[in-house]
Chains A and B, each alone.
Chain A
Amino acid sequence: MDLSVELCGVKFSNPFVLSAGPPTDDVKMIRRAFEAGWAGAILKTTSVESEVVELVYPMMAGLDFEDKKLIGLGNIDLISEHHIDEVEGRVAELKKEFPNNVVGASIMGAKKEDWQTLVRRLEAAGVDLIECSFSCPQGSMGEKPGAMVAQDPQLTKEVAGWVKAAAKRVPVFIKITPMVADVVEVGRAVKESGADGITASNTIPSLMGINLDTFEPYPSVDGKSSYSGLSGAAIKPITLHIIAELAKNVGLPISGTGGATTWQDVVEFMLVGATNVQFCTAVMRNGHRIIDDLKDGLTNYLDDKGMSGPSELIGQTLPKIVTHPELSREYKVVAEVNRKTCVKDDLCYITCRDAGHEAIELDKERLPVLDEEKCVGCGLCVAICPVWDCVKLKRVEKKEKK
């Protein structure tokens, strides 16, 4: 199966790319990733030599849920400590060694001259695409410390315009933040700037938690912390929403990123409009080797679907995402409990009684019995039931209104 995709004229041998972050801040690590089968990598965000980048440690804090470790990861990392003088050398070295892999570079500048210098030097070094970080949760450089460029549509248009004007050979992507009131407005600003695509989207500003003994927030740097950027599986639904909104309303090519962990996630990202998908936290957690699982999983899936390549997936779900008033009022489902598989935890009963429509009673054997008159088919019991193949929704004929 040919898994290749094309994004703004750049060919990727598969849709799996390492995003700008810790796994792409070192040539050795990227080399291993390319050898393992990753199609491309966006080097960790670099800047002009005069910028001072001082990292603090510890910078990572995991988000666990019950016994599951790391359903999300928060970081107070900054851009790379490696400036353009080093990064341009890395780009050249990687392109020489891996001409068929995509080497992108993420950049951040404080002023027009910086942004444009970075683009020119990276193009000269042989980079395949430029990604602009407008969305680091620690804030962008420039006049408003702590604010992100991508939270201001006007500024986004202006800065993206500078970068696009300087880029003569390679496409320019703007990496946006989901932390805005209207992501479509930002997306349109990117489009108006002339930039080629959108990377959607960055980590989400978060507070990872607090040590209950010391009251120190995580990750605690000598007793204090700042807000983290949250990544990982926990943010996938937010990313899907952002990609879908941009795909439906802006019409620029999208590189999806934010919470993809498995090949199934990649399929979902593509179904709502992404052309390729960037990974970071999943690799930080399980290493480059997950590329095998991703490639094989996607190949088998496409094969089962009778599709010739991943591009066939792009945007397929978009027509099925509508506004709430457009949803059918003629459709009624009710819950159905499989009495054979039920283990009598009665969780469906509790939730329906205390948070639903009091549509479930228990019989003498403590098995749930559904009152189809009362059940509105909200789906809460299905979401809660811990048993495989037990509670399901079934479609019923809509009743005439009295």
Chain B
Amino acid sequence: MAKRQEPPTLSPEERVKSFEEVEGVYLPHQAIAEAARCLFCHDAPCNKDCPAGIDIVKFIRRIKTKDFRSAIRAVRESNILAGVCARVCPTEKLCEKACSSTELTEPINIAALQRFVTDTEMQKGITPSAKAEPTGKKVAVTGSGPAGLAAAAELARAGHAVTIFEAKPLPGGVLTYGIPLYRLPKEVVIAEIDCIKQLGVEIKTDTPIDEKLNIDALFDQGFDAIFIATGVGKPYFVRMPGEDLEGVYSALELLSQVRVHYSKPSRGEFPLKIGIKALVIGGGNVAMDAACSFLRLGAEEVHVVCLESFEEMPAFPSEIEFAKEEGIVFHPRSKPLRIIGDENGRVKGFEGVGIRWKEPNNFSPSNAVPIEGTEFSLDVDTVVEAIGQGPDPSLAQALPGVETKGRGLIVVDEETRMTSRKGVFAGGDSVNGGDTVVQAIAEGKKAADGINKYLKSI
């Protein structure tokens, strides 16, 4: 059987030198060869495992028959952020995991094929799909991350007038302020957001919802429905001694500053004070992004300390592998104890201890038992914490009458995606607590569906 085609990829030695995108794109003949490996299963399992609902087997058939225009249409009609997803989707856990070819050889490289069609499209410029006649209805979307953008695009296609309220200076949420450039170049994000704007979506940046501009005020402005997609912007900290030292940051802050700084055509000094020996605390994808970003910022040594073993870490196996390839030093099954400062109040070291789990399959910090005698220290000058994040508590004032639970996650009806407040819907990380980009897109689409039905009913 023919071998899986891999696109050109920078070597670990090459890629840590810059924020250049690591993975390249197929040439047309490679894409056709890869598409020709597809078995075109009748009941395509890949389709069922795409949260965004892309008809994968259809777009692969179109590539095989060299009808790239139809291939892109098949992708775009289900996923307005298809170029983003081609780069950041954990396909090995979704469509490619389901692929029937796996049992013959290896799964079809669906991500690379999607990347090929979206890149081909971008060369000519993305054309937005057809829109329904205007309905006269107005919808406000708060937050322009993947959930907000996906919902806005669907709602605009349905003919509603959509306005996105974005707190930050640029739209995109995690796509613009979180995911590193070496995984997601800014041009892709800009092009896809431009396409959403071309659908008629208005994006008001630097416009956070708050106590004054709350959902009551939005209804007063004449919006018929509101979609909350404010994400999880509040980083959590371990709460250990030394966190107030200079050189301790949240991963969100580091990644956001890196993304903004390296997006500038000409740049001065990096705004955060960082050293050359960095430590990242956490075992998720954000921790991997932070660790690998440090290398690109010029760090000589980057450590990762996390409670989980490699098998237990929430980061995708491919992300862990990627970080290992680049030379990140892992300290799995370890618990942070304290950060040590020097006489000037700057980080100069770290202390941790090995752990075991009290109960199996419970990876919460409270379940971790330190193992005596396994204390260790690291000589580091910068510490980044990437142990998770939650909804910004101050947003509660912007959402009167919207029920939340736990650490402030918004409660929605499973089917309609409406919150406890009539006409107010929610989706993405602010509901699920933090999941993949494609999951946020799926929730945005589903909420748009709920909003459409609601708007027809009023």
Contacts and interface: CB of A to CB of B under 8 A. Distances in A.
Interface of A: 67, 262-264, 286-287, 290, 292-293, 296-297, 300-301, 388-389
Nearest to A261: B65
Enumerate the 3 nearest inter-chain pairs by beta-carbon distance, A residue then B residue, closest first: A388-B29, A296-B70, A297-B67
Given A287-B42, A388-B28, A296 B62 contact: yes
A300 B69 contact: yes
Contacts of B69: 296, 300
Contact of B70 (A264, A286, A297): A297
Nearest to B29: A388
Contacts of B4: none
A264 B65 CA distance: 8
A393 B438 CA distance: 46
B458 interface: no
Contact of A292 (B2, B28, B29, B58): B58
Interface of B: 1-2, 27-30, 40, 42, 58, 61-62, 65-67, 69-70, 73
Nearest to A262: B65
Contacts of B29: 388-389
Contacts of A300: 67, 69-70
A168 to B, nearest CB: 41
Contacts of A389: 27, 29
B27 A388 contact: yes
Contacts of A286: 40
A214 B196 CA distance: 65
A264 B62 contact: no
A296 B67 contact: yes
Nearest to B71: A296
B117 to A, nearest CB: 13
B62 A293 contact: yes
A381 to B, nearest CB: 17
Nearest to B40: A286
Given A300-B69, A389-B27, A389-B29, 8 more contacts: A67-B1, A293-B65, A293-B67, A296-B62, A296-B67, A296-B73, A297-B62, A301-B67
Contacts of A264: 65-66
Contacts of B28: 388
A287 B39 CA distance: 12
The CB with the most chain B CB atoms within 10 A, among A287, A292, A296, A300, is that of A296
A311 B61 CA distance: 25
17 contacts: A263-B65, A263-B67, A264-B66, A293-B61, A293-B62, A293-B70, A296-B70, A296-B73, A297-B62, A297-B65, A297-B70, A300-B67, A300-B69, A301-B67, A388-B28, A389-B27, A389-B29
**Residue of B29, B58, B62, B70 with most chain A CB atoms under a 10 A cut-off:** B70
Contacts of A297: 62, 65-67, 70
Interface centre among A290, A388, A389 (most CB of B within 10 A): A388
A96 B1 CA distance: 47
A329 to B, nearest CB: 34
A287 B42 CA distance: 9
A67 B65 CA distance: 19
B78 to A, nearest CB: 15
B397 to A, nearest CB: 50
Contacts of B65: 262-264, 293, 297
Contacts of B1: 67
A54 B67 CA distance: 43
Contacts of A67: 1-2
A287 B43 CA distance: 12
Nearest to A265: B65
Q: Which of B58, B61, B66 has the most CB of A within 10 A?
A: B61
Contacts of A301: 67
Nearest to A296: B70
B39 to A, nearest CB: 10
A301 B65 CA distance: 12
A361 B61 CA distance: 40
B295 to A, nearest CB: 32
Nearest to B55: A292
A67 B101 CA distance: 14
A287 B2 CA distance: 23
Contacts of B73: 296
B54 to A, nearest CB: 15
Contacts of B2: 67
A197 to B, nearest CB: 28
A293 B42 CA distance: 15
A310 B66 CA distance: 18
B103 to A, nearest CB: 16
B421 to A, nearest CB: 42
A185 to B, nearest CB: 36
B341 to A, nearest CB: 55
B46 to A, nearest CB: 15
B211 to A, nearest CB: 51
A263 B64 CA distance: 11
Nearest to A295: B70
Contacts of A263: 65, 67
Interface centre among B1, B62, B65, B73 (most CB of A within 10 A): B65
Contacts of B40: 286
Contacts of B30: 388
Nearest to B69: A300
Contacts of B27: 388-389
A297 B61 CA distance: 11
A400 B2 CA distance: 48
A29 to B, nearest CB: 15
Nearest to B66: A264
Nearest to A300: B69
A64 to B, nearest CB: 12
A219 B353 CA distance: 70
Contacts of B66: 264, 297
A300 B62 CA distance: 12
Nearest to B37: A67
Contacts of B42: 287
A67 B36 CA distance: 12
Contacts of B58: 292
Nearest to A303: B69
A75 B1 CA distance: 26
A72 B135 CA distance: 53
A300 B30 CA distance: 22
Contacts of A292: 58
Nearest to B67: A297
A296 B68 CA distance: 10
